Amino acid sequence: MSRARFVRFSVALLGTAALAASLATAPTAAPGPSTADTDLASAWVPPNPTNSAKIFRWGNKQWGDEFVTALSPLWKVNRPGLVRNQNGMLTLDTADTGATVYATYSGHNRTYGRWEARVRGRQYGSGGKPYTIFWELVPSNQPYHCGAGNLVLSQYTLGTNWNEMHVRNLPNHDFTMKRWMYLSDNEFHTFAVEVTPDHVSWFADTKVIRTERRPAALAGVPFMPRFRVQGSGTGMNRGRMQMDWMRYYTLERKNAKSIEAPQLEQTTYDQAC
């Protein structure tokens, strides 16, 4: 064998050995969450378009707020100093006392229709207790009953990646599910609900996730939208909740795609009063 051919052969052998060694020592990717409702993507990439209204062709919004001007007085807030429009987003900042902050729109109550909002939450610091954020519909014509009649489109604790959805009805019915999502890194997600006389369908990031048809979940009451940051006393990490927009659509146009999906898990809401 010539010297040139011997050198090329030796280099090839060394390259093969190096590749084998690197494959043998390469770290194995950690498995993602194993539940059926887990997003197994390696990183969060928002869908395009981001809203279910486009995908299911709900038509033009009947009402909405893009949060590009001063906050309408029809938004009823419990702590005005902590609620504002900031750079085109409705922003709820947390209180130093750990108190709850909310904004409820009182000028467009509807029993049926489609509500959708693009939401994110962020936690600052660590070592304390985290806040929990809620994008929900609350009954406008009955007592609050400790939230026993609320329809919760999104509920999650800041700093975590598990989102909950609830359809609650008096006296203490709770139809619910929990879904793993990329939530802890200040990521926007879009949550929507369709409420009709015979079903409630829940959408997350343009996909229908659940459709519930059991009569006990169908309240038939007018709702108003609310955004809430729930505290639990002192010693909490500072946080915030932000909404890019919030929109309402009628049921006039049928869904362009099927809304068939598994039903929710029926449980009891122990905090009802």
Ordered DSSP codes for 232-257: -SSSB-EEEEEEEEEEEE-SSSPPSS
CATH architecture of 52-268: Sandwich (2.60)
Place of tokens 């915030």: 240
Measured between alpha carbons, how far is 271 from 265 in angstroms, rounded to an integer?
A: 17
Question: What pLDDT is recorded for position 233?
Answer: 83
Are the beta carbons of 51 and 193 closer than 8 angstroms? no
Ranges in the chain, pLDDT < 50: 1-42
Measured between alpha carbons, how far is 94 from 117 in angstroms, rounded to an integer?
A: 20
Encode pLDDT of 187-243 as tens digits. Answer: 999 999 999 999 999 999 999 999 999 999 999 999 999 999 999 888 999 999 999
Measured between alpha carbons, how far is 253 from 53 in angstroms, rounded to an integer?
A: 11
Query: pTM of the prediction?
Result: 0.85
Structure tokens of 78? 């419990």
R_g (Cα) of the chain, nearest Å: 24
Domain ranges of the chain: 52-268
Measured between alpha carbons, how far is 171 from 174 in angstroms, rounded to an integer?
A: 10
Are the beta carbons of 130 and 236 closer than 8 angstroms? yes
